[in-house]
Structure 1
Amino acid sequence: MTPEDLDRLLAPEGQELLTGLRGHDPADDLAASTRLRRTYDAGLVAAALTQTRLRQRGAAKFGPEAERMYFTPHGLEQSTRAAVAGHRARRFAAHGPGGVADLCCGVGGDAIALLRAGLAVTAVDRDPLTCAVVRANAEALGLGARLEVVCADVADTGTGGRDGVFVDPARRTARGRVFDPEAYSPPLSWALDAAAKGAPGAVKVAPGIPHEAVPPEAEAEWISDGGDVKEAVLWFGAGGAGVRRATLLPSGATLVGRGLPDPPVRPVARYLYEPDGAVIRAHLVAEAAEELDAALIDPTIAYVTADTLRPTPYATAYEITDVLPFHLKRLRALLRERGVGILTVKKRGSAVDPEELRRRVRPQGPNSATVFLTRVAGAPTMLLGHPAGRDAPPGSPTGP
């Protein structure tokens, strides 16, 4: 898409075409294109069909509002999920800045969330099409009044007088993902310097960022949504220096590090807890285990175990029925004995491919179970069980 394509889509004829394509099945693109080109220009039809496909993909991040928004393929791929952007915007708003400079704003997912939180926003990007898209998205959602868009390199512009600063460096190029932080655009060192001047400031980084790369004056927050780790954010002036935090959406539950030592190690008990990925990334398994009175099953594995079932937002609980040395024939026989045809395979510390295991054990029957491929006290082990609170398959023991 070009800026000219976007202008045509925003014009009355383009709006009419986009409205008519709502609910369109991409499998029917060829037939739809042939039919629509009898009435509309071929270039406009192509742009509208492309935008319709992007809107359908965008629903995973933006929900029903994606139908009113505008996207580029790269911008959609790099955009922040609305729930995550909303959480971050609320944190900004809680510190009362006189507005936020959204540097490297992309298609506007973060700018929209900041505007909805009641903040004025200066959105900066060097790509003219991206700038046009973020402006169009704010207008489409009725949020344009407090938005200023600056089309410039972030290194050459200021913050538009905004106190808050948010930087989302590009971590992909046309060749794929960039792993060297100084090859980000802009480099991570520049982004950190810019955010450190904010009141508050934040930098979005990959969730795999090494802890030793986090500046000592920053708070590091790992965020998951629906159990999937989405990003990490380095905060300046909005939390405690050196704080490590895991935030779980949609509940908003937050676990803050207290510098606890590693939990003890003990044999697998009745319940196994699988910590949320944000808890693991933030190195807060010890904090989660303390709340559960739980222990590790292995010093190198982020599964914890306990005799009692306790509610927690920070981990998923499973009731374990069998603890077995790793042996596929034994597992296959056990699954057949219990009529398990729906097998969930989880692994941590195992090189076994879950799909290969499922193919080899050939589960059959009406019941379901979960098998964990892991290590216990250093030994390859299989743990068989089911989500806590659900009935075990017939014939299962009551605990390991």
Structure 2
Amino acid sequence: MHLVDSLGPYSEDQVLAVSTRLRAEGFAPEVVSEALTQSRLRTAGAEKFGEFASRMLFTQTGLEQATRMQVSALHAQRFVDADITSVADLGCGIGADSMALAGLGLSVVAVERDHTTAAVATVNLMPFPNAQVVAGDAQAIDWDSVPGGRPHSLWLDPARRTDDRPRSASSQRIFDPEAFSPPLSFVQELAATGIPMGVKMGPGMPHSAIPADCEAQWVSHRGDVVEVVLWFNALARPGVRRAALVLHDDATRQELTSATEFPDLAEEPDHVDSPPTSEDHGAPEADGHGHFPQVIPGCVLWEPHGAVIRAGLVQEVGQRLGARLIHPRIAYLVGPAGGELVSGTGGTASSWGFARGYRIREVLPHTVKVLKTWVKANRVGTLEIKKRGTDVTPEQLRKQLKPSGPNRATLIVTRMATPEGERRVVLVADPLPSSHSAE
């Protein structure tokens, strides 16, 4: 630890010089290599852990899977609010959530199957006397032998990466909940005992795989959808089935919740920027009122936050904005020029935080020739290209358009529904001012 602490921030162009110096000082090559690896991981870890990273140890996979500090603090607060005093962190990894739980005064038993990772977690939890690490399999642990006795609650972060890979290779994500470690069926067995528990899962978890007896909360941080947490029993909020929690750069947070079940897949817009599928061919249907959205200059295009889309709450956002889907399968909403909320929170929708607003300036046909002419005529040198529901690659399109000049522009490439059928368009749009930098 002392050697790693002495290295300071990692700099790629200084690696050779530092390595040569340390070897000259008598350190073995493998020790130098491990120290430099920890220095690199600490520097990368500052994005998730801030100044705490400078005193932590990491593994590459552990850092990739670790919960961001601001997010883990929210997890821990949920346990505190439920008057829980002890928790077992099953599959603790490098100890990110255990640190947050212990930091709020809970008694923590952190369980980790991989012995190297367990050793790393032990170091990271050394500042917390109320936290202990147990090396073992969460599915086979003998609770009678655990320090402090049987815990009052559980936190699980199932591993979602393969272990059978070379040490130097990047880990590979897996998506079948039954292939997780521990699997989702084990999670449900624990939940059936009535013990309060929270389970961190990947944000892409399909709605069909989410158990019926839990609250599902999608969380975003700095514009990224980072997880969905399944809250069971006493940790689940009454009347909340699904939720989208948005954490902003300015430390504020906003949440949209619903007591209803997840919408039918056929009625919910896609949450990925996918090209048209076989199900999308043919004329799109109008909305439930028999109307097609009006997409003309002066209207506002709303881009719901990723957590909102994942939670199946796009329609709820549209109702509050007085906006309609631009296409039944695409998560863009079009609303009137005013930008005011119809219901819910007061104020302008651009500061609401659940959708990013763009005022439409022009509606252009989806052809490279027209777009290239427009970019040249408007002397656009800085070009942001957004897309949804199309197979366009923004980087490739930007090269084709050859932007050059002093002006900036935002192009939104998408599909829209019209009475005549589906139409591919490019919207020239100006971002509305927002009080949240992540939106």
Structure 2 residue aligned with 1:354: 394
Q: CA deviation at 1:117?
A: 2.4
Map of 1:167 onto structure 2: 156
Q: CA deviation at 1:171?
A: 0.8
Q: Deviations over 1:119-155 (max 9, x none)?
A: 111100122222221121122xx3x211021111111
Structure holding more helix per residue: 1
Cα distance, 1:235 vs. partner?
Answer: 0.7
Measure, in 2, the Cα distance between the counterparts of 1:186 and 1:108: 17
The 5-angstrom pairing of residues 68-107 of structure 1 reads 68-107=55-94
SS class of match (1:364): coil
Q: Is the 8 A contact 2:240 2:258 kept in 1?
A: no
- Please give the alpha-carbon distance, in whole angstroms, between the structure 1 residues aligned to 2:357 and 2:240: 30
TM-score of the superposed pair, with normalisation by structure 2: 0.81
Is 1:219 the counterpart of 2:215 in the alignment?
yes
> Could you tell me the percent identity over the aligned residues?
43
Of 115-124 and 105-114, deviating more is 115-124
Task: Structure 1: state its 5+ residue gaps.
Answer: 1-8, 10-14, 391-400
Other structure's SS at 1:153 match: coil
Of the candidates 96, 117, 139, which is equivalent to residue 155 of structure 1? 139
1:76-134 deviations in Å (ceiling 9; x for gaps): 12211112211211112211112111000000011011112221111001222222211
Distance across 2 between alignment mates of 1:241 and 1:189 = 24
Alignment of 1:300-315 (within 5 A): 300-307=329-336, 308-309=338-339, 310-311=348-349, 312-315=352-355
Amino acid at match of 1:239: R
Query: How does 1:229-378 map onto structure 2 within 5 Å?
Result: 229-237=225-233, 238-240=236-238, 243-250=241-248, 251-259=252-260, 265-268=292-295, 270-307=299-336, 308-309=338-339, 310-311=348-349, 312-377=352-417, 378=422
SS of the residue aligned with 1:156? coil
Show the counterpart of 2:17: 31
Does 1:63 pair with 2:107?
no
**Which amino acid counterpart does residue 324 of structure 1 have in structure 2?**
L
The CA distance in 2 between the partners of 1:330 and 1:86, in whole Å, is 50
Structure 1 position 273, deviation (Å):
0.8
Give the 4+ runs in structure 1 shifted more than 6 A.
Answer: 260-263
Q: Which residue of the other structure, out of 194, 202, 205, is the alignment partner of 1:206?
A: 202
- Whether the 8 Å contact between 1:344 and 1:369 is mirrored in structure 2 is yes
Please show how residues 106-145 of structure 1 align to structure 2 within 5 Å.
106-139=93-126, 142=127, 144-145=128-129
CA 1:118–1:196 in structure 2 vs 1: closer, same or farther (change >3 Å)? farther
Q: Distance in 1 between matches of 2:38 and 2:237?
A: 40
Specify the code of the residue in structure 2 equivalent to 1:352. V
Compute the displacement of 1:61 (Å): 1.2
Separation in structure 1 between the aligned mates of residue 61 and residue 218 of structure 2, nearest angstrom: 24
Letter in 2 for 1:145: P
The residue identity in structure 2 corresponding to 1:385 is A
| TM-score (structure 1 length as normaliser) | 0.88
Q: Specify the code of the residue in structure 2 equivalent to 1:61.
A: K
Residue 194 (structure 1) shift: 2.2
What letter corresponds to residue 24 of structure 2 in structure 1? R
**Number of residue pairs the alignment of both structures matches:** 373
Between 278-287 and 78-87, the greater mean CA deviation after superposition: 78-87
The Cα of 1:231 is off from its aligned counterpart by 0.8
In 2, distance between residues paired with 1:256 and 1:242? Answer: 6
Shift of the alpha carbon at 1:19? Answer: 2.8
- Structure 1, 168-177 or 378-387: larger mean CA deviation: 168-177
Are the counterparts in 1 of residues 318 and 333 from structure 2 also a CA contact under 8 Å? yes
